[in-house]
Amino acid sequence: MAETQEILEGAMAVAHAVARCRPEVIAAYPITPQTHISEELSQIVADGDLDAEFVKVESEFGAASVVCGASAAGARTYTATSSQGLLLMNEVLWNIAGMRLPVVLACANRSLSAPLSIWCDHQDAEAIRDCGVIQLYAEDNQEACDQHLIAFKVAEDRRVLLPAMVNLDGFLLTHVFEPTIIPDQALSDQYLPPYKAVLKLDIDDPATFGAFTEPDKCMEGRWMVHDACRRSLPVIEEASAEFEKVFGRASGGLLENYKTDDAETILVAKGSISGTIKDVIDEMRDEGTKVGLMRIKTYRPWPGEAVLAALKGAKQVAVIERGGSFGAGGIMTPEVKETLYDAGLRIPVSGFCVQLGGREVPPDGIREIIDRVSSGEKQTAYEYFRLKQELLPDLVPEV
Amino acid sequence: MLKEIRIHGRGGQGSVTAAEVLAKAAFRDGIISQAFPAFGSERMGAPVQAFVRLSDKPIRTRAVIAEPDYLIVQDPTLFGQVDIFGGIKKGGMAVVNTEKPEDVDVPDGVTLRPVPGTKIAMEVIGRPIPNMVMVGAFAGMTGLVSLESIQEAVKERFGGKVGEMNAEAVAKAYNAAKQEK
């Protein structure tokens, strides 16, 4: 085999990586910035290069429902979406997780309406954070490709049996051309053998999926989703190690710790902004600032032990987010705080919403955050960074 | 070595394709490359931008290019409407599709390389789409990417007769921009 890098658009590379996983049923509905993934997959199937059923649907609700049913019938299934499309899948995703179906999907992360925006943030994926879908985040297009193989491997593992979603930043990854390897087919087959369902819908051996449960049983059914999701942590590590062994590159795992070992200030982030952060860290390291990055690659399940190990030596932590919980604070920021607090650590943690709806965060913005936090600035409230005060109304009208 | 290139054009002129082809051609020459559009709701005729980075090391940053080393300007009517030279580095170079270089207000320390891109495109391809022509002109101006690689990338991207014609136009623009030195 010879795996070679090519200059490919992110969405195209992902579509071909998905095809190497040999999904048997694909259903998707177009939405920016995901569309190129499902368009290309549709082309691959139409060209006869992938033996799969591509089901055209009327909405994302339909797409999720098709892959739910097909997965329950024992097929390897795939869908991709963004933003409002993911929200329209929301109801079905809870069912897919509850029925323990290993559907794999991609989310090309995009802002939610309103105001309407097509650009990147993480609010779409974070809005479905709690439903039992495993969430992986890619920094670059190689990871976005490779994490699909890992996602299938983990989702279909008998110890897990849960849906898994690969997050890649809309436009920032989906529309970027960069050197990427499409995983070799023979290696992909070696890594990911055909899916054999433990239980499936079978007319000769009827069963009910997602049955009605009375209060005496329902809670256990829900707890099992929680438990399976938690127990997927070592499975993700295993599948990532095996991926590295087969393909010779590390694309999976729970976290990436970049220059955190002796860092006094550690940033926490996920997704494609991490590349820009690393460049800023290198510059500031040269100037003598002891700063590092803990990049979240697996967001659900929350890798608490690994987070604690990475952050426990820090003097201060800054969480860089692309979302928020309106009326409360951040999304990841309280999770980082909880992990540290539960371990008895009171390391100051500052949360910054740096970008909603695709606002550019230039390197000097990252630098400003590092400077502020490193200088010991006390911060209590989650901050919407560089909010344009001039665009805000002076007064809230009296009710 | 990190070189940052900003491409200015109008929706429909193929600025994003220009970025893609330039990145692919550079990669053929062993240069690590990254290309991306200024993600917008592109409309025909509206000002658009695309970006290319060329490096000898893996490219991690995804920031928009605010301080380019080079500019490729596909449409001279953008001057006055868009801050084309905004942020350009001292010693930077701009290859501009124009037959009236005297109309371009070039900042101090920046080299202008005018190329009649639309004229070349009309002569060789028969359509006023200057994007590949300007990629060829960029390569001629900078010497960063070989003519052969640009032609191969163009032929791979378009195929058939369109690819051949564009490759021919690329060579013409390459030589025009090179001879200007």
A186 and A83 both lie in a single domain? yes
**Count of domains forming chain A:** 2
| Whole-number pLDDT of residue A119 | 95
Question: Residue A398: inside a domain, yes or no?
Answer: no
Residues within 8 A of B (CB atoms), A 358-377 only: 358, 360-363
- The position carrying tokens 């970049």 is A258
Instruction: Tell me the mean pLDDT in the region A42-69.
Output: 98
Chain B CB contacts of A118 under 8 Å are: 39, 41
A40 and A179 both lie in a single domain? yes
Instruction: Tell me the mean pLDDT in the region B39-53.
Output: 85
- As beta bridge partners, residue B51 has B6, B36
Question: Residue A395: inside a domain, yes or no?
Answer: no
A326 and A272 both lie in a single domain? yes
Query: Residue B105: left if φ>0, alpha if ψ -120 to 50, beta else—which one?
Result: beta
A101 and A215 both lie in a single domain? yes
A241 and A286 both lie in a single domain? no
| Domains in chain B: ranges and CATH | 2-179 (3.40.920.10)
| Whole-number pLDDT of residue A399 | 62
Query: Residue B30: left if φ>0, alpha if ψ -120 to 50, beta else—which one?
Result: left
Chain B CB contacts of A176 under 8 Å are: 34-36, 62
The 3 state secondary structure assigned to A230-249 is HHHHHHHHHHHHHHHHHHCC
Instruction: Tell me the mean pLDDT in the region B166-175.
Output: 96
Question: Residue A95: inside a domain, yes or no?
Answer: yes
Q: Which residues of B lie closer than 8 Å to A, measured between beta carbons?
A: 19-20, 23-24, 27, 32-37, 39, 41, 59-64, 66
Q: Is pLDDT larger for residue A61 or for residue A376?
A: A61
A235 and A195 both lie in a single domain? yes
Question: Residue A328: inside a domain, yes or no?
Answer: yes
Q: How far is A252 from chain B (nearest CA, A)?
A: 18
Q: How far is B129 from chain A (nearest CA, A)?
A: 22
Question: Running DSSP on this structure, what letter comes out for residue B101?
Answer: G
Chain B CB contacts of A177 under 8 Å are: 19-20, 23-24, 33-36
A176 and A202 both lie in a single domain? yes
Chain A CB contacts of B37 under 8 Å are: 171, 175
Identify which of A316, A315, A310 has the alpha carbon closest to the alpha carbon of residue A298: A310
| Whole-number pLDDT of residue A394 | 79
Question: Residue A69: inside a domain, yes or no?
Answer: yes
Report CB contact under 8 Å: A176, B24.
Answer: no
Q: Is pLDDT larger for residue A361 or for residue A314?
A: A314
Res. B38: pLDDT tops 60: yes
Q: Is pLDDT larger for residue B19 or for residue B39?
A: B19
Chain B CB contacts of A7 under 8 Å are: 20, 23-24, 27, 33, 35
- CA dist A158 → A101, A199, A253, A360, A385 (Å): 11, 11, 19, 42, 43
Question: Residue A371: inside a domain, yes or no?
Answer: yes
Q: Where does a domain end: A225, A247, A269?
A: A247
Res. A100: pLDDT tops 70: yes
Phi and psi for B124 in degrees, rounded to 5? -95, -45
A221 reaches B (C-beta below 8 A): no
Res. B7: pLDDT tops 60: yes
CA separation for the pair A136, A242 (Å, rounded): 17
CA separation for the pair A310, A181 (Å, rounded): 30
CA separation for the pair A122, A355 (Å, rounded): 9
Average pLDDT, chain A: 96
A172 → closest Cβ in B24, B60, B62 = B62
Residue of chain B whose Cα is closest to the Cα of A276: B61
| Whole-number pLDDT of residue B14 | 93
Instruction: Tell me the mean pLDDT in the region A162-173.
Output: 97
A223 and A265 both lie in a single domain? no
Report CB contact under 8 Å: A360, B64.
Answer: yes
| Whole-number pLDDT of residue B43 | 79
Q: How far is A279 from chain B (nearest CA, A)?
A: 7
Tell me the CATH number at A314.
3.40.50.920
Residues A179-234: tens digit of each pLDDT: 999 999 999 999 999 999 999 999 999 999 999 999 999 999 999 999 999 999 99
| Whole-number pLDDT of residue B41 | 64
The 3 state secondary structure assigned to B108-154 is CCCEEEEECHHHHHHHHCCCCCCHHHHHHHHHHHHCCCCHHHHHHHH
Res. A138: pLDDT tops 70: yes
* Structural tokens at position B27: 């990669």
A276 reaches B (C-beta below 8 A): yes
Residue of chain A whose Cα is closest to the Cα of B53: A178
Res. B181: pLDDT tops 60: no
A181 reaches B (C-beta below 8 A): no
Residue range(s) defining the domain that contains residue A282: 255-390
A267 and A179 both lie in a single domain? no
Tell me the CATH number at A192.
3.40.50.970
Res. A1: pLDDT tops 60: no
A118 reaches B (C-beta below 8 A): yes
B63 → closest Cβ in A9, A176, A276 = A276
Q: How far is B38 from chain A (nearest CA, A)?
A: 9
Q: Compute chain A's Rg from CA coordinates.
A: 21
A203 and A301 both lie in a single domain? no
Phi and psi for A68 in degrees, rounded to 5? -60, -50
Q: Compute chain B's Rg from CA coordinates.
A: 15
Question: Residue A396: inside a domain, yes or no?
Answer: no
Report CB contact under 8 Å: A178, B41.
Answer: no
A173 and A238 both lie in a single domain? yes
Residues A299-355: tens digit of each pLDDT: 999 999 999 999 999 999 999 999 999 999 999 999 999 999 999 999 999 999 999
Res. B180: pLDDT tops 80: no
Q: Where does a domain end: A179, A213, A247?
A: A247
CA separation for the pair A228, A221 (Å, rounded): 11
Res. A122: pLDDT tops 90: yes
Identify which of B105, B82, B76, B97 has the alpha carbon closest to the alpha carbon of residue B141: B97
Please report the ipTM that was assigned to this predicted complex: 0.95
DSSP H stretches of helix in chain A: 10-20, 35-46, 60-72, 83-98, 123-127, 141-156, 185-191, 218-247, 273-286, 304-311, 332-342, 363-374
- As beta bridge partners, residue A256 has A295
A63 and A139 both lie in a single domain? yes
CA separation for the pair A197, A251 (Å, rounded): 26
CA separation for the pair A306, A254 (Å, rounded): 8
Q: Where does a domain end: A219, A247, A275?
A: A247
Report CB contact under 8 Å: B63, A360.
Answer: yes
DSSP H stretches of helix in A251-381: 273-286, 304-311, 332-342, 363-374
